[in-house]
Amino acid sequence: MIKRFANLRVLVVDDMSAMRAAIKVQLSEMEIVNVEQAGNADDAIRMLETRGEYDAIFCDYNLNKATSGQQFLEFIKSQELLPPNTIFIMVTAEAEYGSVVSAAEFQPDDYLLKPFTASKIKSRLERLIDRRDALQMLTQRLAKKDYAGAVAESDKLIKANSKWIMEALRRKGEALLQTGRHEEAIAAYQAALAMRGDLGWAQLGLARGHFAAGRLDEARAIANDILERNGAYVLVYDLLAEIAEDLGDFDTALDCLRQSLMVVPSARRNRIVAEAAYRMGNLEVARTSFEQAIRKTKGSITAQATDCLFLAQIHVDSGDLNSAFKALEAGVGEFGDKGVFAQVQASIKAQAYIRQNDPANARKMLARAGNLIPEPGGNLATVFMARALLAAGEEQEGMRLLDVAVHGASASRSIRGLAKKMRRDAAEPRKVELNGVA
Amino acid sequence: MDEKLTAVVVHDMKNALGVLEDQLAILCQSNPEVAASHALCTSLRQKLIGFLTLYKGEMTARISDVCPEDFLSEVRDLVFLPPDAPEIGIVISPDTPVIWFFDERLVQLALEAAIQNALRFARSRITLGARREGGFLVLSVRDDGPGLGTLEETPSTGLGTELCRTIAWAHVREGVKGHVSLANAAEGGALFEIWLP
């Protein structure tokens, strides 16, 4: 048993050095000596990027005012910095546990409530490692996006009626939804619900299955049912927003997302609201939400270049060209004029120069954007390039790029939505102009 | 006394007890005489957490799938026993499902309270059990003491009983609530059961 722990690599993230030291002592009692420490989220993220894979991360929920343990988890999961086999354990105080758990959009593998003893850590780690090992094949398939393989691995666990059956059903449902096999996904979630009718994740999966199959009313009814029992389940708001957006009911969509932001006031949620507001043509909400995201992440490693880019585009759309250039300048200061930032920046500047009646500079920027984008696809750079071309009157090429973006293999829902918005705007240029003036 | 202040004071005490408990655990390794103090400290911390859980207001059970067998082993492993304490065994009835749905943290608090109680009466053995009874998972704690109705040297506060009852009630499945029972076991001794729908 002890050998099992001795080789583990552990990262402890806590702003209080006394707490880090205490956990380190407790781990050393289990012969775990390979323990590294980070005093804040930024350091921890750098360590994840540079120091290789950890077996387990113990992270305190209260990191500091800027970033909570939950936001740290959100960030490393959404940026794919958390290897699928790393066990993430959130350490919380007894008193805050209830609110922490109910609003958790990204679930850690486990929670550890303070105060805990060395034997508590040991028994938890033992179970978590058992779980990790039992699910290893399934985890690997999902990480490689081998969904058919993941379904097969899930079925093995389900058929064996193992104690991991619920996790197997959950992941099977996800894999099936990813590959468009909605009816089979629905069956997997129904199998889970047959065992226990009020499992939130299974009901959400069921609703997603109905949504994917085009049964919007059924999806919405189930989603509302979940919220009635747990109003803090933020992923349900996301689904309701997607349903409303598909129906063209943008007010309701935005309203759902703003409710989710009230539950989880994170920069990530600000971005979700902001991007949706922009797609739906609500420039005011989009601007303030991106500004909030920028303010919340300023100077932190969680800051994202796309926030500045969107903000600049919104300023261009509103006709406030000075603010647009300023937002881009701030972005260069923080992220450097390189990568996606450079690609998109050129497209936005081109539009700004067109609005300023400066065709020479506009052409220069268009050429620069064209040179920087290696190959058009389902990504942000392509959508913004298309936008710039449309603004320059190159309608055919602009529309072609939007098509490429919508159908690109890597296009996310939000990229597709954004490209569609650009297409709508292009079809009704006068309306854009009016929005801009307002 | 002001409620907020009470909560802050109790939390502080609980955290301090946690630190003390860890220090006593380390001391125990070199000096077995400290074991009784360690056990006392553990039971005090558990009581405080029970108190906090009970008086925080409405209790919500956050159910997830739990393997009863694994769960009982973990509960047992986490009980600190001084050298002369009774042994704790586990009996899993063959009809016990591989997984059941309950709030692991809350039910653990309930079982800890029941075990602390059993430790006061048991002669040599405490048995944790799991079985299925209709639509319920029944988790039990049986001691081999004199049974119910015994006069206690140090009477209990009733906190444990109320905690267990509230935790059982927080578990609801399709309108059916959980419950607890305390009776004399057929084999002798007292038998505590928590019924989870």
B63 to chain A: which residues are within 8 Å by CB?
Answer: 196, 198-199
- Contact of A61 with A68, CB cutoff 8 Å: yes
Mutation target to probe the B interface, by most B beta carbons within 10 A, among A113, A117, A159 is A117
Q: Is B35 on the interface with A (CB under 8 A)?
A: no
* β partners of residue B128: B90, B141
Query: Residue B43: pLDDT above 90?
Result: no
Pick the CATH number of A307-438 from 3.30.70, 1.25.40, 1.20.1330, 1.10.246: 1.25.40
How would you list the strands of the sheet with B136-143, edge to edge?
B87-92, B125-133, B136-143, B190-196, B179-184
Q: What is the pLDDT of residue B149?
A: 72
- Tokens representing residue A5 in the block: 């722990």
What homologous superfamily is domain A143-219 in, according to CATH? Tetratricopeptide repeat domain (1.25.40.10)
For the stretch A286-300, pLDDT in tens is 999 999 999 988 888
Q: Do A119 and B74 touch (CB under 8 A)?
A: no
Q: How confident is the model at residue A436 (pLDDT cuts 50, 70, 90)?
A: very low
What average pLDDT does the segment B82-96 reach?
91
Q: Do B22 and A101 touch (CB under 8 A)?
A: no
- By CA distance, what is A127's nearest residue in B? B70
Q: Do A118 and B25 touch (CB under 8 A)?
A: yes
The more confidently predicted of residues A5 and A270 is A270
* For chain B, domain boundaries: 3-55, 64-196
Which ranges in chain A are annotated with CATH 3.40.50.2300? Answer: 2-134
Query: Residue B170: pLDDT above 80?
Result: yes
The more confidently predicted of residues A59 and B32 is A59
How many C-beta atoms lie closer than 10 Å to residue A338's C-beta? Answer: 12
CATH number of A231-303: 1.25.40.10
> Where is average pLDDT lowest: A11-15, A55-59, B40-44?
B40-44
CATH number of B64-196: 3.30.565.10
The Cα–Cα gap between B113 and B47 comes to 7
* β partners of residue A11: A36, A57
How many C-beta atoms lie closer than 10 Å to residue B127's C-beta? Answer: 21
Tokens 């655990």 correspond to B25
Percent of chain B with pLDDT over 90: 48
The Cα–Cα gap between A277 and A250 comes to 8
Q: List the Cα angle A64/A65/A71 in 5-degree steps.
A: 75
State the greatest distance between any 2 C-alpha atoms of chain A, in Å, as a whole number. Answer: 73
Mutation target to probe the B interface, by most B beta carbons within 10 A, among A196, A198, A201, A233 is A196
Q: What is the pLDDT of residue B52?
A: 80
- Contact of A48 with A71, CB cutoff 8 Å: no
Q: Do B80 and A119 touch (CB under 8 A)?
A: yes
Cα-trace Rg, chain A: 24
- Domain A2-134 architecture: 3-Layer(aba) Sandwich (3.40)
Mutation target to probe the A interface, by most A beta carbons within 10 A, among B10, B58, B72, B99 is B99
The SS3 call for residue A213 is coil
- By CA distance, what is B102's nearest residue in A? A196
B105 to chain A: which residues are within 8 Å by CB?
Answer: 97, 113
A93-117 residues labelled b (16+ CB within 10 A) or e (exposed): bbbebbebbebbbbebbbbbbbbbb
Tokens 């957490």 correspond to B49
- Tokens representing residue A162 in the block: 């193992």
- Contact of B141 with B114, CB cutoff 8 Å: yes
The more confidently predicted of residues B59 and A259 is A259
For the stretch A129-181, pLDDT in tens is 999 999 999 999 999 999 999 999 999 999 998 899 999 999 999 999 999 99
- Contact of A359 with A352, CB cutoff 8 Å: no
For the stretch A65-82, pLDDT in tens is 667 888 889 889 988 899
- By CA distance, what is B68's nearest residue in A? A163
- Contact of A325 with A353, CB cutoff 8 Å: no
Cα A195 to Cα A190, A210, A261, A273, B32: the distances in Å are 9, 20, 32, 36, 47
